């Protein structure tokens, strides 16, 4: 142990990095943590948390519209963008203080500055050099911006939360979950939103019935989709921007959000100098235990490009601490991960898509229902719920559940436990329904459609 300043030094104070550093410190290990930006990382400051606040804000507009049908009279409704931005900043500042306190209580030394590896055990932060027995890379991801004329005029998810002015006309490049969540947010707040995407349907990689349902519901709420189209360039036009499409058409707008994916945030960390292997996209190559090709250098979270979700990064951190310091080698479990997309209505999903299931299993049963939720039988809104269950016909085990509808994220969290535990369709059928709820349809789908 002599010659090392720390038993564990973590580079990157996002959700995974903070958890690893804190757990190590709580075990009495000498734990250090470096962060070049803000403690909490993307999830707390540029992702999950502020995004959910803005989802709440945008949804109030729909709720106010629906309230009239239920007897409420609401006059003088208006939305103030600066108020929302200020409220968000205040809450995120509070959360950052909590993170700082948690690290301090766990005796973690926090270094504010960019950390660079000089070799397998040496980290440089400014003029300071630190020696660590074990090093974790947990630097997350960063938005990918395509190379095109005028790309510097666009914004990414890093900037969109803090715009000085609300964009009344917004063009979004991409149709993944980040793109669609912001499309719903800004449409709900009153903007005209157009989504430009090279494919023929949003949410690539999700179940096809989910993709169709989300497209239908977002179109119903006023979002315009330009499928099989690419942005070829951007230019200034008057007080706004002009988006040039590869089919020769153009769209005038106030802002362009590029949401075409994220890449590992590993540039300039000195990984090559330390001998750490990386994939072509910059992801740190790790084994099942999150160990890189260099002994004592590990990586967790989005910088490994395995499953890029905050709870997964935290889980990988917990497993790594078990492996390093508790004599309990633990492999992160990446199967049957429940997740949500906070579109409006939201998506909840766990397990295999129908396509994935049919590729892996010879006998697959499909159960699906679409219906108008009780709330909207009075509000008059055309919104529908889609619920789909995918079952292994040979064993009756549930392979996947997919939902588009109110509270889908909350519903899928509970279902994730059941699916992970080996839930069967017979057990679902034997469960009593909670009436009247949207989720009761999950236990009332007795007849398979294919």
Reading the block at residue 170, the tokens are 């917004």
Reading the block at residue 199, the tokens are 């494919």
Domains of the chain: 6-143+263-325 (3.50.50.60), 151-260 (3.50.50.60), 339-443 (3.30.390.30)
- In this predicted structure, what is the pLDDT of residue 275? 94
Reading the block at residue 284, the tokens are 């740190």
How many whole angstroms separate alpha carbon 255 and alpha carbon 249?
A: 17
Q: Does the pLDDT at position 390 exceed 70?
A: yes
Structural contact between residues 218 and 183, judged by C-beta atoms closer than 8 angstroms: yes
- Per DSSP, 138 falls in state -
- In which band, very low, low, confident or very high, does the pLDDT at 450 lie, cut at 50, 70 and 90? confident
Reading the block at residue 239, the tokens are 């007080």
**Residue 68, CA distances (Å) to 62, 72, 191, 317 in order:** 11, 5, 22, 48
* Phi, psi values for residue 25, rounded to 5°: -60, -40
Q: Does the pLDDT at position 1 exceed 70?
A: no
pLDDT in tens, 262-300: 999 999 999 998 999 999 999 999 999 999 999 999 999
Query: Mean pLDDT in the chain?
Result: 96
How many whole angstroms separate alpha carbon 238 and alpha carbon 203?
A: 33
Q: For the packed helices 81-105 and 15-26, what is the interaxial angle rounded to 10 degrees? A: 20
What average pLDDT score do residues 217-229 get? 97
Q: One of 59, 315, 402, 435 is an active-site residue; which one?
A: 435
Tell me the percentage of the chain whose pLDDT exceeds 90: 98
Are β-strands 231-237 and 240-245 bridged in parallel, bridged antiparallel, or unpaired? antiparallel
HSE, CB side, 13 Å, CA atoms: give it for residue 46.
Answer: 18
Cα Rg, the chain, nearest whole Å = 24
Tell me the percentage of the chain whose pLDDT exceeds 70: 100
435 is catalytic: yes
**Residue 383, CA distances (Å) to 186, 202, 217, 374, 376 in order:** 18, 18, 6, 11, 7
- In this predicted structure, what is the pLDDT of residue 2? 60
- DSSP string for 380-403: -----EEEEEEEETTT-BEEEEEE
**Torsion angle of the four alpha carbons 31, 32, 38, 44, in this order, in degrees rounded to the nearest 10:** -20
How many whole angstroms separate alpha carbon 418 and alpha carbon 408?
A: 15
SS3 content of the chain, % helix, strand, coil (to 5): 35, 25, 40
What average pLDDT score do residues 125-147 get? 96
């Amino acid at each position: 142990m002599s010659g090392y300043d720390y038993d564990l030094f973590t580079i990157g104070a996002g959700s995974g990095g903070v958890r690893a550093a804190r757990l190590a410190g709580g075990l009495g290990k000498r734990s250090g943590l470096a962060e070049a930006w803000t403690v909490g990382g993307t999830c707390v400051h540029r992702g999950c948390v502020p995004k959910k606040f803005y989802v709440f804000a945008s949804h109030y507009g729909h709720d106010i519209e629906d309230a009239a049908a239920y007897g409420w009279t609401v006059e003088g409704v208006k939305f103030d963008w600066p108020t929302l931005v200020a409220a968000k900043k205040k809450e995120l500042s509070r959360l950052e203080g909590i993170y700082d306190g948690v690290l301090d209580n766990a005796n973690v030394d926090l270094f504010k500055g960019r950390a660079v590896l000089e070799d397998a055990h040496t980290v440089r932060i400014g003029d300071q050099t630190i020696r660590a027995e074990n090093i974790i890379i947990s630097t997350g991801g960063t938005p990918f911006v395509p190379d095109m004329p005028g790309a510097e005029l666009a914004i990414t998810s890093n900037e969109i939360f803090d715009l000085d002015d609300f964009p009344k006309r917004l063009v979004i490049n991409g149709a993944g979950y980040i793109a669609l969540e912001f499309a719903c947010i800004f449409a709900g707040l009153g903007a005209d939103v157009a989504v430009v995407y090279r494919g023929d349907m949003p949410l690539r990689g999700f179940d096809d019935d989910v993709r169709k349902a989300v497209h239908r519901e977002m179109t119903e709420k006023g979002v315009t989709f330009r499928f099989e189209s690419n942005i070829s360039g951007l230019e200034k036009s008057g007080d706004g921007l002009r988006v040039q499409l590869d089919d020769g058409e153009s769209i005038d707008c106030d802002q362009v959000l590029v949401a075409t994916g994220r890449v590992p945030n590993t540039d300039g960390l000195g990984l090559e100098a330390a001998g750490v292997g990386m994939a072509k996209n910059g992801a740190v190559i790790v084994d099942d235990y999150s160990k890189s090709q260099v002994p004592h250098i590990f990586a967790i979270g989005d910088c490994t490009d395995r499953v890029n979700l905050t709870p997964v990064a935290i889980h990988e951190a917990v497993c790594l601490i078990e492996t390093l310091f508790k004599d309990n080698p633990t492999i992160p479990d990446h199967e049957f991960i429940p997740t949500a997309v906070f579109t409006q209505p939201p998506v909840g999903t766990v397990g295999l898509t129908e396509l994935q299931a049919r590729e892996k299993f010879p006998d697959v049963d499909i159960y699906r229902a679409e219906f108008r939720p009780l709330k909207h039988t009075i509000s008059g809104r055309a919104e529908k719920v889609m619920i789909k269950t995918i079952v292994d016909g040979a064993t009756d085990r549930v392979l996947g559940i997919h939902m588009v509808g109110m509270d889908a994220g909350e519903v899928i969290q509970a279902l994730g436990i059941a699916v992970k535990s080996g839930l069967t369709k017979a057990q679902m059928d034997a469960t009593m329904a909670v009436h009247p709820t949207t989720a009761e349809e999950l236990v009332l789908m007795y007849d398979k459609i294919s």
